[in-house]
Amino acid sequence: MVLSMSKELSRNEHIKDASNFLRGTITEGLRDRLTGSIVEDDQQLVKFHGMYLQDDRDLRAERGRKKLEKAFAFMLRVRITGGVLTARQWLALDNIARTYANGSMRLTTRQTVQLHGVIKSNLRATLKEIDAQLLNTIAACGDVNRNVMCNPNPYQSQAHAAAQTLAQSISDHLTPRSGAYREIWLDGEKIAGAPQSDEVLEPIYGRTYLPRKFKVAVAVPPSNDVDLYANDLGFVAVLNEAGDVTGWNVVAGGGMGMTHGEPDTYPRTADMLGFCTTDQAVAVAEAVVTTQRDWGDRANRKHARLKYTIEDRGLENFRAEVARRAGITFGEPNPFVFTSMGDRYGWVESGDGRAHLTLYVQNGRIQDGGAGRDQMSALRQIAELNVGDFRITPNQNLVIANIPLAHQDAVDRIAKAAGLLAPWSGLRRNAMACVALPTCGLALAESERYLPTLLDALDDSLARHGLSADDIVIRMTGCPNGCARPYLAEIGLVGKGPGRYNLYLGAAFDGSRLSKLYAEDLDHEGIVAALDPVFAAYATDRQAGERFGDFTIRAGLVARTSNGRDFHANVRGRAS
Say how far apart CA 8 and CA 263 lie, in whole Å.
Answer: 22
Three-state secondary-structure class, residue 359: strand
Say how far apart CA 49 and CA 44 lie, in whole Å.
Answer: 10
Q: Which entry of 16, 47, 120, 146 is annotated as an active-site residue?
A: 146
Q: Are 520 and 509 in contact (CB under 8 A)?
A: no
Catalytic annotation present for 302: no
Q: Which entry of 141, 150, 276, 440 is annotated as an active-site residue?
A: 440
Q: Which residues contact 493 (CB under 8 A, 6 or more apart)?
A: 454, 474, 475, 476, 477, 486, 501, 502, 503, 504, 527
* CB-based burial label for 335 (10 Å; 0-12, 13-18, 19+): exposed
H or E, element range at 307: helix 306-313
Beta bridge partners of 235: 218, 250
H or E, element range at 275: strand 271-276
Residue 123 CB-half CA count within 13 A = 30
Say how far apart CA 465 and CA 456 lie, in whole Å.
Answer: 15
Report residue 291 CA to chain centroid gap: 23
Q: Which entry of 483, 496, 513, 516 is annotated as an active-site residue?
A: 483
Say how far apart CA 59 and CA 219 lie, in whole Å.
Answer: 42
Sign of the Cα torsion 234, 151, 368, 123 reads: negative
Q: Which entry of 213, 319, 365, 428 is annotated as an active-site residue?
A: 213
Catalytic annotation present for 190: no
Say how far apart CA 236 and CA 217 lie, in whole Å.
Answer: 9
Say how far apart CA 91 and CA 513 lie, in whole Å.
Answer: 39
Name the DSSP class of 163: H
Catalytic annotation present for 77: yes
Catalytic annotation present for 434: yes
Amino acid at 501: Y
Catalytic annotation present for 141: no
Q: Are 485 and 109 in contact (CB under 8 A)?
A: yes
| Nearest C-alpha neighbor of 288 from the set 313, 258, 265, 259 | 313
Q: Which entry of 16, 47, 77, 298 is annotated as an active-site residue?
A: 77
Catalytic annotation present for 150: no
Q: Which entry of 141, 150, 276, 434 is annotated as an active-site residue?
A: 434
DSSP helix, strand, coil percent of the chain (3-state; round to 5): 35, 20, 45
Q: Which residues contact 211 (CB under 8 A, 6 or more apart)?
A: 13, 143, 292, 293, 296, 297, 298, 301, 304, 305
Say how far apart CA 328 and CA 285 lie, in whole Å.
Answer: 12
Greatest CA separation found in the chain? 74
Neighbours of 423 (CB within 10 A): 16
Catalytic annotation present for 440: yes
CA angle 507, 520, 461 (to 5 degrees): 65
Catalytic annotation present for 483: yes
Q: Which entry of 106, 215, 428, 429 is annotated as an active-site residue?
A: 215
Sign of the Cα torsion 275, 277, 278, 284 reads: negative
Q: Which entry of 479, 500, 516, 547 is annotated as an active-site residue?
A: 479
Sheet holding 398-404, edge to edge: 84-85, 389-392, 398-404, 354-359, 346-349
Active-site residue list: 77, 146, 213, 215, 434, 440, 479, 483
